[in-house]
Amino acid sequence: MPVLGQYVALFLQIVSNVRSLFSSDFFVCVTLGDDEMKKILILFMLMNLCTGCISYRYDTSKSTIENDKYKVNISLQETPLVNNSWTTALNAYQLNITNYTDDDIEIDWTRTSFITNGQTDGGFMKANELYLNRDLPKNPTIVMPRATQKMNIYPSTLISAVNQHFAIPEGKNGVYLILRIGDTEYKEQLYITKIRE
């Protein structure tokens, strides 16, 4: 379904561009039965149907890590492709972290990375973070003692300059998470594998 949403967004952009060229005449042509416009619309509908047939399964067996200090989990989240858009895709991770200790846990966002097919590929952006600031050092997130924190994070390499959020790709992808408790650093790898059926 994420691919279908991307095609719908593309189709709406094309319709918007055509509409601006022809003003309201575009929609009049469609309703009056213009054969060329009907063929174009049918082509886009067939493209959407074909891409809608693609299905995926997700291996989440490596998406959770738990020890005596913390429990960390990632899950895929469906969010808008573009801010304030009705089209969505699985384009974010929800990161859940539970602190079992009496100390703060610090998430080092400057060093935490997106992993795609075994390689790190940029960092993450949080909601409402500006695209222009994606590569700047980031303030850490503090998880208070005996508390749980949840947040959506977006791979910065899957966001365009116009703030379009692309879907998480096929393959073994995840989060290389850098945590600090006191003076001790912890490095964790969490994965969700997207497999085409």
Is the pTM for the entire model greater than 0.85? Answer: no
Residues written for the chain: 197
79 band by pLDDT with thresholds 50, 70 and 90: confident
55 band by pLDDT with thresholds 50, 70 and 90: confident
Q: What is the pLDDT of residue 66?
A: 98
Rounded to the nearest integer, the mean pLDDT of the chain is 82
Residue 145 makes CB contacts below 8 A (sequence gap 6+) with 99, 101, 102, 103, 104
* DSSP line for 93-145: EEEEEEE-SSS-EEE-TTT-EEEETTEE---EEETT--GGGTTS--PPEEE-T
Strand pairing category for 119-120 and 113-116: antiparallel
Q: What is the pLDDT of residue 132?
A: 86
pLDDT at 182 over 70: yes
User: Residue 148, SS3?
Assistant: strand
Q: What is the pLDDT of residue 27?
A: 44
Report all structural domains of the chain as residue ranges with CATH numbers, in order of start: 2-54 (no CATH), 57-196 (2.60.40)
Which tokens belong to 93?
């991770």
User: Residue 68's beta-bridge partner residues?
Assistant: none
Q: State the DSSP code for 167.
A: P
Q: What is the pLDDT of residue 22?
A: 45
The model's pLDDT over 121-161, given as tens digits with 9 standing for 90+, comes to: 999 998 878 888 888 899 999 999 999 999 999 999 998 88
